[in-house]
Structure 1
Amino acid sequence: DNTVFSYIPNTAETSFYGMIEAAQDFLNQRKNKYILDNRKTLTKEKLEEILSVKIRTEKVAIKDAKLRTFITEDSSRDDLVAHVYDVTYGIIKPKDNLVIIDDSIVRGTTLKKSILKMMDRLNPKCIVIVSSAPQIRYPDCYGIDMANLGGLIAFQAALELLKEKNLYHIVDEVYAKCKLQEDLKDKEVVNFVTEIYAPFHQQEISDKIAQLLSLPEIKAQVKIIFQTVKDLHIACPKNLGDWYFTGDYPTPGGNRVVNKAFMNFYEGKNARAY
């Protein structure tokens, strides 16, 4: 009763319907169990009350169709995202949890600069952002413009965790290993950037991402849940490409690109890795 499901338009709509279908199945299972467990004492009024419970869904965010943020240059992106969305007021109660599904969280710019601020103005108790894609940890070099490793919010979260746990020496070690591979053939290059994430569980990184994206003025508790790679493969069994989540690139050149992207980050170069 106290949870509202919605999505960030427009690309997350398909994922939203899948999530609601699964939530409805779960709710039906709970209804069935309660009815069976209490069938001897169940009154007509109580049965009607149980059957009346439904998944609450609302379209709380409305996107200006004329504006698009994913392909926008970084220099103008921050200014643009503040004007992309508007919200629907009056449907969220102070005791409600607001669950918002997004197709992916790459840099987190739109969430931090726009979405979370607007959702918080609805005064929910908790905002849960659900990403239908796993944590995007590595750059892409096959068509999607994600060449800058330092801009990925998952990478930023891992760096913060390394600092907190006095493990930042791993960053220096990974850089040294990447430098040693500069003159190797592509097929001999290893992706050492995976070592940045190795000390942490996925949930640790998700929790840190939530902290990084929550500005001090956000009153609601913010949680972020990412799809797992395993479940993504179950959902998309015919499309198993997962290199920007796992670092397992399908061609040898991918390892060179990710190492180059890391070296650019380490050396403070705002340059493409390919």
Structure 2
Amino acid sequence: MSSEPQSPSERDIHLRQVLVATATASTTDTPRRGRTVVGSIVAFALAGAVTGGAISAAALTRTAEPEPTSISVVEMTEGIVRDDTELFGTPFVISSFGETEIDLGPAPAGASSLILALHCLDPGTYQEVVDGTQIGAVTCTERDADFTNGGGVIPITVEDDSEDHTLQIVADASQRYVIWASWATPALKAEASEAQQAALADGVVTEAEYRDGFARYAACMTDAGHPLLRIDESGTIIDYSNTAEAVNSGKDQRCYDSEFANLDVAWQLDQEANAE
């Protein structure tokens, strides 16, 4: 990648490619089997000092300037960013094409991760590289341009507070995409409650323990102000729905981890093994 200073025209292209976040209503898909998420997504707040960042000159000069693009950053990040995730500074929101390198600078004090969301606008494969190491790749079809396509929480090991970090997207010169990235610290995972630990102590999850764990999880969600919806306990695996607001707030994950997560996974794996 070129490290030469950008010319005024290249800086102008960069400025025109920075997008503005927009809040829109949307619906998320189920994050775990047995669950359905319904409702609208609440936009998250962006706070803190401005974080600097620049696109490399090489990423802006190989092909013609791409057409202006309008997307919802909330829709890009709704399945990745929770309300209880602490964001640092202003996220990097960039529309680009081909190979792009973003200078993220040093990680802010307190940040433990980089959160990344990628939306492809053209079919093809997009490689995601952090600090020179490929951490993922997204392959998009023609239909995928209507959806957010990839992303996640990437732990960052900070050996030196002044160490600069980079994010690179590698794609063909004709492939357009939008990147959203932010320094962050996700909320700590809730520990399993004493009741869930006791049920797991003997290494065997009975149906009674599975259903008792679900009852505690449902009660936790009610206490949190987000009661579960459409509960169907008639099958071997319980089906239920949850509001997107509950998921986006982080309360669903805390209740699930505390009262039900390990029991749910162990029970479902056991049912799959028995079916085989």
The structure whose residues are more often helix, as a share, is: 1
Shared fold per TM-score greater than 0.5: no
TM-score w.r.t. the length of structure 2 is: 0.24
The structure whose residues are more often strand, as a share, is: 2
